[in-house]
Every structure is written in structure tokens, then in C-alpha cells.
Structure 1
Amino acid sequence: MRILLVEDDAVLREVITRSLEQAGHRVDTAGSVLEADHLWRVQPFDAVLLDLNLPQHERTESPMGNGLQVLRDARARGDLTPVLVLTARNRTEERIEGLDSGADDYLGKPFDLAEVEARLRAMVRRAIGSSDLAQLGDLQLDRRARRFSVAGTSLELPAREFEVLYELMSPPGHAVSKRHLSDKLSNFDEALGDNALESFISRLRKKLVGSGATIRTLRGIGYLLEPEP
């Protein structure tokens, strides 16, 4: 998944980012209202992790308030990206206001990093209407465990190859554009080029031999995961 993390505490932001990236996700971060609003407008994300108590940008007098206003503005323009709000554990009114403003879930501070990732996965599953398991031939994806297997044997993949195959199998049988895959695997500090993407696809094809699934290139469109002939 490509995730927008909005958190003004630099230490906490780094800890959460490292945890999510180790789980195979791509993370873009914002530490202020204007940074969050800008990133959310120019880049599609699978999920947003949003702290409500954000500072204004020091060089602007923007009328925007805290993270709650960023959320309200996104919903007002029709953006349905799943949002997990981070709140102080004893601030019930803050949680209620966040949910009423369009948040999909909330998590009180302090929290367990594993629960953050689990809640993000659950939100995205609900948003796309998918189950935890997807299968094509002998290839199976367990989203909850973030695990691929072939005929019951784990398929070990580097993080980015995993994410490419994850996108192709969510769900299987639909075309995925190069732009979409590049967006999912990039962040604002590092863009993934076509050559790198094609290299990932080539390596995946070799690893899928005998799985009953194969990746077909659709010229001018992208890639399709389909049953092996």
C-alpha cells in the first residue's frame, strides 16, 4: 500500500514510517496542515494515517485549522481514501468529531505499531470490498498475514516484488497500469522508473513458473495476472 502519514512529532513519524516500510508499504509523510493538504491533493493514496493536532505552517496565515480540517476538506471534494485517525486516548470528543468528519477508524495514543498496520489493512479491505484471501491457480495471497504461497509453500519475495504481485492480485484478473504500479511503489523522494518496474515483472514471471498463474503485458495498458495457459 501507499500510505500518507500525517504526524507533527518527528520522532513518532520516523518510528511509524520505519515500521510501515518494514512491512512492505510505501510511506509519504507530512508534519503540518499545509503539507498534508498538498500531498493529499496531488497524490492518490491507499490509506491516510492522520494525527488531528497539527501545527499551521509557520510562514502562512492559512485559515485551515488542525488535521480535522484537512479531513473535512478531503471529504468535501469527494475523496474517499480510508482514514485512520490518531487521537489522545482520553479525548472521547475528539474521536467522535473525527468519525463524524469522515474518518473510518481511530486509534488512541499510545498504540502498538502492529495494530496500526492491521487497522490500515482492515480499512483498505473494507474500502475495496475484498476478503483476506485471493487465489489464482496454485498461487494464494493471504492479506492478513501478508503472505504469498504456491500450493501451500511460502513464496519468498523482496518487498517491492511483493507489492507488485499484491497489486496484480487485488483482485486477480484485472489490468493494472504501469502508472498505477509506479505510484504504489514510489514516494516523493524516490520515483520508480519503467525499467525498474519491468525488471520486477521479469523476476516475478520466473518465480511464478509452475504456480498456475502468469503475468501478461498489455501493450499501452499495463499488466494482467491470469491463469497459466
Structure 2
Amino acid sequence: MHVLLVEDDSTLADGISRILKSHGMAVDVVDNGSDADSILQHAEIAVMILDIGLPGIDGFEVVRRLRARGSHLPVLLLTARDAIQDRVHGLELGADDYLVKPFATPELVARLKALVRRSNPKPVEWRVGGLSLDTFTKRVRINDQPVELSVREWAVLEYLIQQASRVVSKQQIIDAILPWGEELTLNAVEVYVSRIRLKISGAGVVIRTIRGFGYMLEKEVP
């Protein structure tokens, strides 16, 4: 796994680099935003660890330029700033996660691996009754006939089918489908579930409301 580490504190950068290399990762280290921006335009990188407070262009601007180029490279922000608005701003610009200094190195390694896994998902097709959901093509079919869903409806259905025959709460659905910094109300979840029920009718699948607990998707019993 090839990591780009952008950190102007040489002692911290050296420590992080040694730890990542001990986990079998290849690490490139730069100490300013301009060099990072240049490398990102031509190098094959799996994930970037990015400090916010950098000389020259800061971490926010590095992320902004990266996303403006259409790159989906996973970005983990490192910051010593405690203000929640700084973290939210970075996530809104397109960063995927953040750690506040000081941090535990096992957590850093675990978060990096998780970001890379999520950025390279394996295609999976889920089937319950006559309902099929393809995570690669982002298509839903009922008995091989396509069903049109909105982005949020897709996300809710994907989580429910992954948890088929298990009861999940509205809050669990929200936590599973929303990226950092976004909000969704419990009432909105009810609306999405109601719409999905209408769209998948006839698939031999039912989304049951378990009062006081949440929802459960399962194969319909004749």
C-alpha cells in the first residue's frame, strides 16, 4: 500500500513513516502543500495522510485541488486543532476521515486500511426473494426487471438487504449510510422506507416495521 504523508513536523513525520513501513507500507513524505499537490498529479497513491497546518498552501487547499481534478483518492486529515468547524470544513471539502493529534498509532493504521478497503470495494450481488441488488453496477432488479431508486433510497435498501432477517434501528441506518458532516432525520428514514416498499412490491420481499426497534427486511412468506 503506497502512502503519501504530508506533514511539516519532521519528528512526527519520521515516527509515522517508520510505523507505516513496519506494517509493510511504502511511504513518501513531503513537508508542504505545494509538493504534495504536485505529486498527486502524477504519482500512483493508495491513500494520503494530510496535515492541515502546512507551509505554502494548507491542507484544505490540497484537498480542494485534489477533488477539483476529479480524484477519489482517500484522504485522512491530521490536525492539532480542536475546533469542530475545522474538521467539518475539511470533510466538506472532500476529506474522508480525520485524526486529532496526539493519536494512537494503531488507530491511524486501522483507519488507513479501512479507507483503502472502502475505496476499492469488491462487487457483490445481494438477493432476497425476487429482489437483487448489484453493488458494482448500482442496479436493483425485481425478477430481472430494473427498478429506479434515488441515491438515498439505494443506500437505505443496500443496508437493509445486507442486514436481511435482522432488526435494524433508524439510527443504525443513518449511521451506516451518511458520510461525515451530513444529517438525516428519523422521519426522513421513514419516508425512504415507505418509498422503497412501494417500489419493491411484487418482489416477494417485505420490510417489516418492528415497533420500538426499527425495520427488518426478509423474504415474504406466502
Q: TM-score, normalised by structure 1?
A: 0.53
Q: 2:115 aligns with which of 83, 94, 100?
A: 83
Distance (Å, rounded) in 1 between the aligned partners of 2:129 and 2:154 = 18
Q: How does 1:10-49 map to 2 (within 5 A)?
A: 10-12=63-65, 14-15=67-68, 31-34=77-80
Distance (Å, rounded) in 2 between the aligned partners of 1:6 and 1:177 = 34
Distance (Å, rounded) in 1 between the aligned partners of 2:150 and 2:49 = 27
Distance (Å, rounded) in 2 between the aligned partners of 1:214 and 1:142 = 19
One-letter amino acid of the structure 2 residue matched with residue 137 of structure 1: G
One-letter amino acid of the structure 1 residue matched with residue 78 of structure 2: S
Matched, 1:134 2:126: yes
- Shift, 1:202, TM fit: 0.6
Q: 2:172 aligns with which of 170, 173, 180?
A: 180
Matched, 1:143 2:189: no
- Shift, 1:151, TM fit: 0.9
Segments of structure 2 that go 5 or more residues without pairing to the other structure are 1-47, 51-58, 85-94
- Shift, 1:33, TM fit: 3.5
Structure having the higher Rg: 2
Residues 19-47 of structure 1: per-residue CA shift (max 9 Å, x gap): 77xxxxxxx986434479x9xxxxxxxxx
Q: 1:72 aligns with which of 92, 105, 113?
A: 105
Q: Secondary structure at the match of 1:204?
A: helix
Pair 213,80 (structure 1): closer, same or farther in 2 beyond 3 Å = farther
Pair 138,187 (structure 1): closer, same or farther in 2 beyond 3 Å = same
Q: Which residue of 2 aligns with 1:67?
A: none
Q: Name the count of aligned residue pairs.
A: 152
Residues 145-193 of structure 1: per-residue CA shift (max 9 Å, x gap): 2221111112110000000000001142222221111123434543111
Matched, 1:205 2:194: no
Q: Secondary structure at the match of 1:176?
A: coil
Q: Secondary structure at the match of 1:169?
A: helix
Q: Which residue of 2 aligns with 1:42?
A: none
Q: Which residue of 2 aligns with 1:219?
A: 211
Q: Secondary structure at the match of 2:162?
A: coil
Contact persistence 1:216–1:225 (CA under 8 A): yes
Segments of structure 1 that go 5 or more residues without pairing to the other structure are 21-27, 39-47, 65-69, 85-103, 105-115, 123-130
Distance (Å, rounded) in 1 between the aligned partners of 2:112 and 2:212 = 28
Distance (Å, rounded) in 1 between the aligned partners of 2:206 and 2:81 = 40
Residues 177-218 of structure 1: per-residue CA shift (max 9 Å, x gap): 211111234345431111111000111111111011111011
Q: Secondary structure at the match of 1:172?
A: coil
Distance (Å, rounded) in 2 between the aligned partners of 1:181 and 1:154 = 24
Q: Which residue of 2 aligns with 1:162?
A: 154
Pair 180,80 (structure 1): closer, same or farther in 2 beyond 3 Å = farther
Contact persistence 1:138–1:213 (CA under 8 A): yes
Identity rate, percent? 26
Distance (Å, rounded) in 2 between the aligned partners of 1:79 and 1:189 = 18
